């Protein structure tokens, strides 16, 4: 194996959790009982769990040691001061508001920064982000470059904002009708695709000129920084933490799911520079999350998050992280399996349209493919297509995204390269008899974020 292309783990294993493969017959019964929704399968019934990289991370010995230093006071916990100081130092924002996870921060930001009827332009939607924007009267408007919707377009920064789309919207509706611009680094549903520093700079310059605020979805900001260093001129020798800091210098604040790039199992926060927005968020956090010094987290969780965020910026960690994901992508690509190119930071996305050309989008090919992967080899993946996209709030019609994908999401520091071999083997075997995959129809469709708990039947 080429150790530069696929570096060895920069950690050794101190504690293990046993996993077990069940039989195909068992898995056929389990997936039927779960309504063909991988979210509804019990963890014990899964061999390799690639449902999400959210909260599924392995913490370090230092984080676990930090858990023992939890100061569980209701107010003014010392772990809060540690977390607040760490985020200010590493992200560069003036104010930090803790929340129980990322969507808690999205809820607060949407409530304080959106007036009903205002637009919220963003580089592709994310499920919970758009939910909170719309629940507060906002209208999501997609400003990602066109190629992000094309699984095969091989570009270094497929997550970039198309500035002409943003300018076109501002010219049409006026800057006063824009709540703020939301830029995700990286873009989850485009395949974990990064945004270039040049693009962040341009968006910031334009928005500042128009008096429009920019908030970043910082959830995978360290992975984004790694791609900037790998691909953008002038960054090859810059430390990751400097790149992260520069990214945020182009924003007025951010929402963060600590469950990803803080390498923890729970937690999040909202960052703001503006004083009046900060006051508004402080007033609201006590309603939805808890005191402004814990925001729904235990003291020990805040300690683990402060330590984890610093660990995420260690060079060896982030290089191994991104390249392990790439390893799985390369295996699948070499086997001829259609995947979203290039491989992003946290997951390999299978192109379900290419994998199941015999299924139409209304037959829910990605949902069916995720279920079939589980049956084939006990590997749990997630649908990221028409089911996740939900319905248009006004017309009630299904959003029909161009990208119909299944996400194989790699938890941080949890699995080895050999596990990736097994996943690739499972998916490749299924690919050889892909015409056996049957489409699905809804049996129960929840009204909000329907992918989490929806149920299906085979056609
Ligand atoms: O799951 P939360 O509430 O901590 O974070 C919400 C959230 C916000 N932004 C982005 C880009 C996300 O990916 C995200 C959560 N993602 C999940 C759960 C995932 O499986 O991708």
Per-residue pLDDT of the chain (459 residues; tens, 9 = 90+): 899 999 999 999 999 999 999 999 999 999 999 999 999 999 999 999 999 999 999 999 999 999 999 999 999 999 999 999 999 999 999 999 999 999 999 999 999 999 999 999 999 999 999 999 999 999 999 999 999 999 999 999 999 999 999 999 999 999 999 999 999 999 999 999 999 999 999 999 999 999 999 999 999 999 999 999 999 999 999 999 999 999 999 999 999 999 999 999 999 999 999 999 999 999 999 999 999 999 999 999 999 999 999 999 999 999 999 999 999 999 999 999 999 999 999 999 999 999 999 999 999 999 999 999 999 999 999 999 999 999 998 999 999 999 999 999 999 999 999 999 999 999 999 999 999 999 999 999 999 999 999 999 999
How far is residue 281's CA from residue 371's CA, in Å, rounded to a whole number? 41
The per-residue pLDDT for 324 is 98
- Backbone φ and ψ of 106, nearest 5°: -65, -40
The per-residue pLDDT for 171 is 98
102: CA distance to ligand 1 center in Å? 6
Catalytic positions are 74, 126-127, 217, 260, 384, 451
User: In terms of Cα–Cα distance, which of 147, 150, 153, 186 is closest to 165?
Assistant: 147
Domain ranges of the chain: 3-53+314-458, 61-312
What's the Cα-to-Cα distance from 208 to each of 171, 204, 345, 347, rounded to whole Å? 15, 6, 29, 33
Radius of gyration of the chain (CA): 21
21: CA distance to ligand 1 center in Å? 28
> CB of 186 within 8 A of CB of 223?
yes
How far is residue 252's CA from residue 245's CA, in Å, rounded to a whole number? 13
Closest approach atom of ligand 1 to CA 52: 20
53: CA distance to ligand 1 center in Å? 9
How far is residue 258's CA from residue 207's CA, in Å, rounded to a whole number? 27
61-312: which CATH number, 3.10.310.50, 3.40.920.10, 3.40.640.10, 3.40.50.10490?
Answer: 3.40.640.10
Residue 422 CB neighbour total at 10 angstroms: 17
> CB of 71 within 8 A of CB of 81?
no
Look at the alpha carbons of 97, 219, 107, 41 in this order and tell me if their dihedral is positive or negative. negative
- For residue 383 and ligand 1, the question of a CB distance below 6 A is answered with no
The per-residue pLDDT for 104 is 98
Angle at Cα 231 formed by Cα 228 and Cα 236, nearest 5°? 75
Residue matched to tokens 């377009």: 153
How far is residue 84's CA from residue 252's CA, in Å, rounded to a whole number? 17
- For residue 405 and ligand 1, the question of a CB distance below 6 A is answered with no
- For residue 145 and ligand 1, the question of a CB distance below 6 A is answered with no
How far is residue 224's CA from residue 322's CA, in Å, rounded to a whole number? 10
217: CA distance to ligand 1 center in Å? 9
Topology classification of domain 3-53+314-458: 3.90.1150
* Residue 211: burial class (beta carbons within 10 Å; 0-12, 13-18, 19+): exposed
> Which residue among 127, 219, 262, 268 is best mutated to probe the pocket of ligand 1, counting the most ligand atoms within 8 A of its Cβ?
219
């Amino acid at each position: 194996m080429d150790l530069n292309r696929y570096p060895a783990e920069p950690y050794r294993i101190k504690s293990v959790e046993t996993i077990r493969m069940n039989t195909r017959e068992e898995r056929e019964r389990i997936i039927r009982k779960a309504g063909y929704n991988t979210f509804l399968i019990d963890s014990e019934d899964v061999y390799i769990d690639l449902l999400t990289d959210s909260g599924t991370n392995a913490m370090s010995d230092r984080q676990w040691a930090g858990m023992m230093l939890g100061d569980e006071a209701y107010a003014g916990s010392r772990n809060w001061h540690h977390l607040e100081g760490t985020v200010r130092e590493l992200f560069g924002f003036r104010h930090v508001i803790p929340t129980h996870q990322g969507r808690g921060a999205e809820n607060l930001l949407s409530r304080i920064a959106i007036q009903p009827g205002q637009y919220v332009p963003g580089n592709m939607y994310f499920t919970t982000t758009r939910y909170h924007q719309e629940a507060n009267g906002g209208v999501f408007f997609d400003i990602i470059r066109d190629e992000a919707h094309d699984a095969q377009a091989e570009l270094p920064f497929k997550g970039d904002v198309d500035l002409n789309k943003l300018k076109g919207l501002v010219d049409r509706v006026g800057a006063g009708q824009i709540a703020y611009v939301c830029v995700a680094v990286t873009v989850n549903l485009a395949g974990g695709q990064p945004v270039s520093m040049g693009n962040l700079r341009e968006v910031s310059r334009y928005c500042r000129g128009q008096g429009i605020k920019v908030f970043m979805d910082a959830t995978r900001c360290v992975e984004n920084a790694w791609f900037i260093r790998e691909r953008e001129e002038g960054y090859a020798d810059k430390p990751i933490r400097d790149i992260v800091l520069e990214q945020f210098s182009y924003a007025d604040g951010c929402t963060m799911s600590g469950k990803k790039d803080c390498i923890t199992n729970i937690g999040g926060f909202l960052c703001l520079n503006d004083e009046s927005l900060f006051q508004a968020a402080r007033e609201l956090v006590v309603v939805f999350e808890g005191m402004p010094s814990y925001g729904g987290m235990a003291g020990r969780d805040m300690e683990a998050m402060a330590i984890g965020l610093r660990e995420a910026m260690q060079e060896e960690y982030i290089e191994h992280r991104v390249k392990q994901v790439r390893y799985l992508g390369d295996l699948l690509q070499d086997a001829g399996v259609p995947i979203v190119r290039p491989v992003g930071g946290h997951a390999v996305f299978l192109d379900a349209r290419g994998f199941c050309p015999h299924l139409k989008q209304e037959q829910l090919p990605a949902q069916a493919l995720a279920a079939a992967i589980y049956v084939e080899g006990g590997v749990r993946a997630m649908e990221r297509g028409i089911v996740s996209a939900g319905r248009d709030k006004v017309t009630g019609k299904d959003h029909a995204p161009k990208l119909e994908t299944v996400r194989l999401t790699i938890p941080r520091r949890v699995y080895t390269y050999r596990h990736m071999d097994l996943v690739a083997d499972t998916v490749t075997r299924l690919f050889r008899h892909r015409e056996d995959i049957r489409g699905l129809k809804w049996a129960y469709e929840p009204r909000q974020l329907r992918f989490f708990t929806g149920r299906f039947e085979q056609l």
